[in-house]
Structures are given as C-alpha cells and as structure tokens.
A and B are shown apart, each in its own frame.
Chain A
Amino acid sequence: MGSKEKEKEKELGTVNEAGNEGNSIMPIISYREAIRQALREMLRDPKVFLMGEDVGAYGGAFAVTKGFLAEYGEKRILDTPIAEAGIVGAGIGAVMAGARPVVEIMTINFTLLAFDAIVNHAAKIYSMSGGQVNIPLIIRTVTGSGNQLGAQHSQNIEGHYAMVPGLKVVAPATPADAKGLLLSAYDDMNPVFFAEHFALYHVKAEVPEEAVRVPLGVAAVPREGKDVTLIAYSRMVQTCLQAAELLAGQGIAAEVIDLRTLRPLDYETMIASIRKTHRVIMVEETGIGTSIGGDIIAALQEVVFDDLAAPIRWVAGAPTPVPYNRTLERASIPNAETVAQAASELMGGQQRKVA
C-alpha cells in the first residue's frame, strides 16, 4: 500500500486496531474487495463463470462484481432474469455438464424462491445418485438485518440451510475469512451456500494477497479469554468482540468463537473453549428459536453439562418479523450491550460447582 493510500485508510479509520498497519506485510482491504479477489482467482479457471441478477451491467446489487462485465465479458459474467429457482437449477445443471458456475442470489430472502432447487435438488443429488453425481456449486448471497429494509429484506436465514444435510454453509465475519473461505468453497466438491453480510462489506482488515485458503468446518477464536465463551458468526462476531471489550472493563475475560462455517459445525473448538471458561453464550442476529442456535446449545449440553458453572445462555434477536421502524428494528437485534449484559449476569449468577 502506498503512503497516500495509507493516509486515506487512516482518514477512513480503517487501519487495524493494533495500529501496526505500517509494519504489516498484508494489505488492508474490505470484505467486499476480499470477495472480489477470491472471485478473480476462481475466474482464472476457464470453467468458472458468474451468474445472477444484476451481476453484470449493474455491477452487482452490492457492487461485488463491479467492473467484471467489462473485464471478463458477457459469457463469463451472466446477467439472468429474476428467476431464482431457474438460476440455481441452471447452476446445478451446468456443474453436471462440467462447468463451474458461481451463482449469486441478490439477497438471502430471495433464496426462498430457490429453496426447492437448493434443498430438494443441490443438497440431495449426491446421495440420491449413490455418490455418482456431485454438485460443486457455490451459491453466494447476502444476509443480514439492520438497514430498515422491512421484514422481507432483513432475514438471516442461513441457519435454515445449515439444517440441510448435503449442503455446506459458510458465513464469514472478516475480510480474510471471506476470501479464504470462498476459495475453499471453490475447491470443495459439494454445494456451498455462502452468506455474505451486507453490513460487513465495508469492514477492512488484513487479507493475504495470495490465494490462501481458510478451511471449511473450522471455527476461529478471534479473542481468547478465561471467563466466558461467546459463540457467534458473521456480523455478530464483531458484536461479541465489542461486548468483550465492555466486559474487559468489568474484569471479565470473554473468549469469542467465530463459527465461520455453519455446516459442518466445529464442535471441538466450542467444547474446548467451554471446558476452559465453564460459561457459554450463544449469540445470534436472527430471532431466537428461528435458527441453529438452539441446536448448537442442545448438542453442546449433551457433552459439556458437567463442565458448566451456569446454564447455557442464549442471546438472539426478537422472534418476530423484523420491523421497519428504526427503534424497533434496533430493539430486535442483539448488540454489544445486550451481549455484555448477559455475560455479566452469567458471571454474577448462582454458580454451580464444577468438578
């Protein structure tokens, strides 16, 4: 990065927290740019083409593929009709014929129109064919709430897909993971549902220039701590990291786990952390009981019950359609304060004696 650019980055407040950007050997780029880099890397493979609504002439609804049409041409950056089942079905067929399309569904809400293609078809063909036909199809989409877009544009339903055997589900929280996980999705032999969070597109951090893979199914621990484990993914990882800062001020050392992949889940990392902290909070952006949090808690308690000093806590959004009103919408989504409050209650509560 040139010095001018560095200044600009500082102005934008995007140098990393450690303030060591100047010493870093890795460029600091946005989550959006990281995804663009991964797509460019994939497009080196002539079998790869991108297809979706407004990926070409418009440049992507979230500008992820901006400029790609001019660079790669219409054959490889294919604008589609608004026909989600058709788009995903076409992707399934095209991989069967030996191509490697990467399909984009503009937002996760619209993937419900392709639920049949994704759940009934992409996820099951490998099994139904007795292992003959695998579907290495990446389905990129955009998840998230919090922009006053109303109930039909504010869902985090990646958890629905995470309940489907045959799919892999990825939801990166950082630019480096966005790039590295997308490249791993490209290497994978299976359908991968890749949920990008719209509120993270502007987030910047260090990202390796090279095509470094981040393995699917392995969680990250972006902050270590001994007192309480906060489990989250996607944007809620940032929320938990902020909560951990607040908790540090109260003398509570929170450990944050970024699941990164929702199917398969990395229980090993979660269990190891809980055995250290004895307290755990499951944090989700979506409404409580509407996603995978409950399943994770159920699976964890079977294993770690005797390690727990307190019941597993569950902090998630309101179990309602996300309202338009700004105040209500904010009230429907967990934030650093609500997470920190829950952790602090958990620390102060009646303690079970742990063997």
Chain B
Amino acid sequence: MDRELRMTMYRQMALIRRFEEAAGEQYGRGRIGGFLHLYIGEEACAVGAINAIRHEDYVVTHYRDHGHALVKGCSPRAVMAELFGKATGVSHGMGGSMHLFCKENRLMGGYAIVGGGLPIGMGIALGIQYQEQDLVCLDFFGDGAVNEGEFHESMNMASLWNLPVIFFCENNLYAMGTAVARTAAVPEIYRRAEVYAMASTQVDGMDVEAVYRATADAVERARRGGGPSLIEAITYRFKGHSMADAVVYRTREEEEVWRPRDPIAVLGKRLIEGGEATQEELDQIDKDVLAVVNDAVHFAEESANPTVEDMYRFVYAV
C-alpha cells in the first residue's frame, strides 16, 4: 500500500474523529437534535472500505453514518449542517444525522431501521447488473442487523443472482446494549455467508489497511462477475450507542482493553515506525482537520433553516 493512500486514510480517520467530537459537543449545546450516534473508534471501517471502491460506486449505510458520508465525498460543512437541520445540509435538513444522502457522491442513504438498508443495497446491485454497468455497491450495516429477516433475504438474493454487492458488517460487539453472543446463535457473523454460498471474511476493523485489503478483494471479485461478499469487521465504538446511552452493559475494563487498538493510533504508529511520517506531520494533519471541522460548525451555525414550503415540496417528486 503506498504512502499517499495511507496518509489519505489517516487524514480521513482524523477528520471523522474530530468531526464526531465536535458533533457531540454541539449536541450537548442543544444545536443538534434527535439521536446522535457517534462513529468514534469505528473510523477504520468506513475509511478502509470506501477507499477500496471508486467514486462512481454506490454506498448504502445505517444511522451511524457521518463517517461514511465524509469519506464518500460529502463536504464536512454539508454534513454538519445536516446535523444542525439546516437547508445547506446534505439532505436539506430534512433527514438529519441518521439520513445522510448525497446523490452526487452516490451515497444513497443512511437508514434508521435496522436491516432496512440491506435489501436496498442489494437492489442497487441488481440495477447495476441489469444495466450491465461496471459498478459495485458497498452496503454497510451493524451486527444487530444480521438477525433481521431482511439480512437473510438480501444475502440469498444477492448470491442467487450473483450481484455486485459487498455486505459490510461493522460488528462493534453490541446491538445497542445487547452483546452479539446474547443475540446470535452463531456469533461469528462472517460464517453466515456459508449457507448462501457466498465468499466471506472476518477482518480487524481497527486496522484500516486490513479493512482496505479485505474490501478491495471483495470489490475485485464483484467487478469480475464473481458475485457478492460478506465482510465482518470487528470493531469497537468508544462512545455509547447514542448520546443517551450511559453504557451500563459493558465494563470499563473491557473499554480499556480496546483503547490501545484505536485505529488512528494504530495507523499513526505504523506510519512513524515505517519512516513514512513524523509525529509533527501527523500533528499537523490533526490541526488541519480540526480547522476544517471548526469551519463546518461555523457554517452550520450560520446557515438558514429549511422552510415550511420545503416540508411539503419534498413529499412527492414532480
């Protein structure tokens, strides 16, 4: 993997981290409403996976979607403005944190019904195949989604029809507050591909390079007509499920075990030890992304709200 890509991925992870910290702070100030699900700790998943596809490929994701949007090409300003509910937001303030859409960047939605995005991503792949396009769809979901019927329906149809879709499971070990082992008869999620005759792999979701490689393999397979894949990335969210979560279902000791595996620290250490970057360079990246995030917050604050007319305008397309 070349240095440029590693540095890009480092910067993107740093951007997401700072973005999420700022979002949490703004939520505390009451400028962001509703639910807010932070991606802190899971950055390597979106960054590693989305860097392995092309800009014209599609992404479908879930409600913890800020990271995916930022990596897929949405501007931090427009994403932050969406969290603020402003008309300048990616979804015109109509979707909010959980429903980031950007058609221009082929981000086809964050969905807040667990499992609901799975058949949509599979369907995008069906549309790609039907139109004989050289594209793939990267379909993100969490460990909680794999017990939904829509997961199984989508896996079956994707394999049956050999669709160019990559099912990417971000297994952060807890579906809200319930541990995977307490909800899944077979907690090794990647093994569920076996019954659908689908390629699958489990990957360290805290290692952005490993995520990139696993996704690149799956994308290559999809592009050459080899069909869908299931990737299970083992990751950890350092914060609660949402801002309302007091995190009573896991121990502080467990959290401490995961701290050293912080994906930004892991890549940073590797870059420095490999002589590819200095601490100063990484510090500068952090300063740069912090400035970008501060600018995004300022932009969101200054932006106008959508109008009541917009509320009616966006019900039916004409």
The residues of A with any CB-CB pair to B shorter than 8 Å are 47, 49, 75, 80-81, 83, 85-86, 88-99, 101, 116-117, 120-121, 125-134, 136, 165-166, 168, 189-190
Contacts and interface: CB of A to CB of B under 8 A. Distances in A.
Interface string B275-318: 00000000000000000000000000000001000100111111
Contact of B101 (A91, A97, A132): A132
A142 B123 CA distance: 23
A94 B130 contact: yes
B122 A89 contact: yes
Identify the interface centre among B116, B137, B149, B314: most chain A CB within 10 Å of its CB.
B314
Contact of B92 (A88, A96, A131, A165): A131
A278 B95 CA distance: 45
Interface residues of B, number: 49
B206 to A, nearest CB: 30
B257 to A, nearest CB: 37
Contact of A93 (B103, B126, B153): B126
4 A-B pairs with least C-beta separation? A93-B123, A89-B119, A130-B92, A97-B127
27 contacts: A81-B153, A81-B156, A85-B119, A86-B119, A86-B153, A89-B118, A89-B120, A89-B154, A90-B122, A93-B60, A93-B120, A96-B127, A97-B123, A98-B131, A117-B150, A126-B316, A129-B95, A129-B109, A130-B89, A130-B95, A130-B101, A130-B310, A131-B92, A131-B313, A131-B314, A132-B103, A134-B317
A24 to B, nearest CB: 36
B121 interface: yes
A190 B157 CA distance: 25
Contact of B126 (A94, A116, A190): A94
B119 A126 contact: no
Contacts, number: 158
B160 interface: yes
Identify the interface centre among A80, A94, A128, A133: most chain B CB within 10 Å of its CB.
A128
A128 B99 contact: yes
B193 interface: no
A83 B157 contact: yes
Contacts of A101: 126-127, 130
A133 B127 contact: no
Given A49-B130, A94-B123, 13 more contacts: A85-B153, A86-B157, A89-B116, A90-B123, A93-B127, A97-B124, A101-B130, A129-B109, A130-B93, A133-B101, A133-B103, A133-B109, A168-B316
B218 interface: no
Identify the interface centre among A83, A98, A120, A132: most chain B CB within 10 Å of its CB.
A132
A110 B290 CA distance: 51
Interface of B: 58, 60, 89-95, 99, 101-103, 108-109, 111, 113, 116, 118-128, 130-131, 133, 135, 137, 149-150, 153-154, 156-157, 160, 306, 310, 313-318
A158 B99 CA distance: 27
Contacts of A189: 316-318
Identify the interface centre among A93, A96, A101, A117: most chain B CB within 10 Å of its CB.
A93
Given A98-B127, A129-B99, A129-B103, A89 B92 contact: no
Nearest to B124: A93
A121 B101 CA distance: 13
B229 to A, nearest CB: 17
Identify the interface centre among A81, A130, A132: most chain B CB within 10 Å of its CB.
A130
A126 B113 contact: no
A189 B128 CA distance: 20
Nearest to B108: A96
A96 B317 contact: no
B109 to A, nearest CB: 6
Identify the interface centre among A49, A85, A90, A101: most chain B CB within 10 Å of its CB.
A90
Contacts of B103: 129, 132-133
B315 A127 contact: yes
A80 B123 CA distance: 12
A144 B122 CA distance: 31
Given A89-B154, A92-B120, A97 B315 contact: no
Contacts of A121: 111, 113, 116, 120
Contacts of A130: 89-95, 101, 306, 310, 314
A235 to B, nearest CB: 27
B124 A96 contact: yes
Given A83-B153, A132-B103, A133-B108, A89 B130 contact: no
Contacts of B124: 93-94, 96-97
A88 B314 contact: no
A186 to B, nearest CB: 14
Contact of B116 (A80, A91, A117): A117
A166 B316 CA distance: 6
A168 B317 CA distance: 11
